[in-house]
């Protein structure tokens, strides 16, 4: 069985990636420091190491195990925290990834690194969406700057050290096990508020758009990026793939769809627009379709219904 390491495998997206790779027959090892991930998310068939990606222990694990694939999802995921403490964000998201890449280089293994980047905030507000991979990048947050920095390192290590790496740039991922942090936390927040019978707070006019993509579709993109033939190594965007639906959906529409899924009439309340919030963001995933054979399969209304049902079951279980 191919050996795969999933960093951040106890987290929201990472745990779904672990589940899919196990189902596909991979021998899976998980690394997570459990700062945000949950031990209960980790499938029993996976081996687990509770260590951080900045640690010497992590580098030694990578060197010793010589994995066939490393799906790198570990990181600081909260844009607001990156603004408050950009040094801490860079320490985890940039230096932690360099620790991984140096360990792979020292292992001299034929390891494919699948780096989970962002399509939601990488391109900034200076393009007219849908954003394609080659659009100029001018991120507005330290979080997105760190993601872009890592992608430059991936291109460098590919050209100079012949490392086999690919970046998948996610839209706003939502689904079961989601927490309120990160770019798409609004879905989890709204689910919680509906279940608590509390109003849904929408900032500004609620017409700001994001590309909401279901976590199961995202996990499949990671698997395909790990296993499919890739373009030649080259410049920044040569091995980068947007993963999204190609459609922008407003926060107001998300609120209304979740109200419908929950058969709830909790009110929608409006609050002042948050300074610096991106107004429009959605990506063109045509390259992922052409090269990886990936297309989103879960429609937004269906995915939101699945997500709300999961939150409802979790809430009911916690109450008992």
Active site residues: 143
Distances (CA, A) of 208 to 211, 213, 299: 11, 16, 20
| CA dist., res. 70 & res. 116, Å (int) | 11
| CA dist., res. 301 & res. 128, Å (int) | 25
Name 117's bridge partners: 169
Residue closest to 254 by CA, chosen among 210, 218, 205, 298? 210
**Cβ 165 vs Cβ 157: under 8 Å:** yes
Name 166's bridge partners: 114
**Cβ 147 vs Cβ 122: under 8 Å:** yes
| CA dist., res. 75 & res. 88, Å (int) | 11
Give the relative orientation of helices 185-195 and 300-319 as an angle to the nearest 10 degrees.
50
| CA dist., res. 225 & res. 156, Å (int) | 19
| CA dist., res. 246 & res. 233, Å (int) | 26
| CA dist., res. 286 & res. 296, Å (int) | 11
Indicate the SS3 state at residue 320: coil
| CA dist., res. 184 & res. 187, Å (int) | 6
**Cβ 213 vs Cβ 284: under 8 Å:** no
Distances (CA, A) of 59 to 38, 62, 162: 22, 5, 19
């Amino acid at each position: 069985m191919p050996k795969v390491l999933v960093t951040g495998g106890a987290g929201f997206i990472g745990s779904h990636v672990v589940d899919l790779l196990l189902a596909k027959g991979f021998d899976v090892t998980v690394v997570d420091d459990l700062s945000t991930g949950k031990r209960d998310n980790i499938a029993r068939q996976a081996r687990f190491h509770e260590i951080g990606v900045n640690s010497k222990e992590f580098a030694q694990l990578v060197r010793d195990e010589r994995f066939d694939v490393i799906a790198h999802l570990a990181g600081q995921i909260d844009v607001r925290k990156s603004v408050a403490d950009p040094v801490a964000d860079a320490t985890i998201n940039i230096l932690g990834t360099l620790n991984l890449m140096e360990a792979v280089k020292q292992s001299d293994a034929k390891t494919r690194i699948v780096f989970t980047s962002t399509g939601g905030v990488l391109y900034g507000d200076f393009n007219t969406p849908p954003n394609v991979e080659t659009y100029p990048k001018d991120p507005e947050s330290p979080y997105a700057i760190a993601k872009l920095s890592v992608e430059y390192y991936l291109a460098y290590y590919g050209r100079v050290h012949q490392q086999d790496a690919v970046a998948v740039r996610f839209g706003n991922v939502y689904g079961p096990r989601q927490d309120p942090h990160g770019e798409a936390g609004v879905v989890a927040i709204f689910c919680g508020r509906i279940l608590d019978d509390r109003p849904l707070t929408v900032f500004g006019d609620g017409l700001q758009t994001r590309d909401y993509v279901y976590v199961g579709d995202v996990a499949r993109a990671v698997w395909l990026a790990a296993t499919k033939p890739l373009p030649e190594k080259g410049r920044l965007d040569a091995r980068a793939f947007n993963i999204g639906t190609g459609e922008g959906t407003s926060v107001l529409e998300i609120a209304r769809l979740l109200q419908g899924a929950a058969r709830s009439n909790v009110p929608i309340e409006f609050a002042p627009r948050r300074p610096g919030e991106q107004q429009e963001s959605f990506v063109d995933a045509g390259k992922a379709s052409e090269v990886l054979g990936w297309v989103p399969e879960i429609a937004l209304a269906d995915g939101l219904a699945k997500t709300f049902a999961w939150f409802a079951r979790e809430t009911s279980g916690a109450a008992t």
